[in-house]
Amino acid sequence: MLIIKDISTINSVFDKKAKIVGETTELTNVFLSYKDFSDTPKNAISRMDRGERMWLFKEINKAIEKIEKDKYTRKAIFYNLHKSKLEHNCLNVFHFYFREELLNLNVYVRSMNFKDNFEQDMYTFDIMLNKACKKLKMKKGLVYVHIMSLHKFNK
């Protein structure tokens, strides 16, 4: 398990701690949290990922509705069932919860390409939490992310 308390250190942490696994260099079971991911991602979002992001932005409404009914619900959760070419989507579970007067988001990620997707995905999670906070008129808490495999492909 690797806990990263400052998301801005992710590049140096990756360089120091990643191990070669098959055709990738990988960190496993990475836990990180952040309040804002305001940097605009350097890489353009792929067409496939853009479709998934739009699906997520619609699906979030179901979680928002559950919080509107009961702000302390534990059921404001959804699974990424977006139709893709993958057997299992990389971004799996999204769980919103309101505690201590803050709305937070837990995300479980099966697999994430560090080079191509890390910034885009962190940015996407931040947008999701911002949208929910705005719609629910709640103060923003943290995004907590568990990434099972954060990797770069060795070419």
Tokens of 124: 């996407």
User: Is residue 41 included in any domain, yes or no?
Assistant: no
Q: Which domain, by its residues, includes 20?
A: 2-36+46-153
Query: Cβ contacts of residue 89 below 8 Å, gap of 6+?
Result: 52, 80, 81, 82, 110
pTM: 0.92
Q: Give the percent of the chain with pLDDT over 70.
A: 99
What is the CATH classification number for the domain harbouring 133? 3.30.572.10
CB 77 within 8 A of CB 95: yes
Total number of domains constituting the chain: 1
Q: Which residues pair with 109 in a beta bridge?
A: 91, 147
**pLDDT per residue as tens digits for the range 34-93:** 998 877 777 777 788 888 899 999 999 999 999 999 999 999 999 987 787 767 777 899
Single-letter amino acid code for the residue at 143: V
User: Is residue 140 included in any domain, yes or no?
Assistant: yes
User: Is residue 71 included in any domain, yes or no?
Assistant: yes
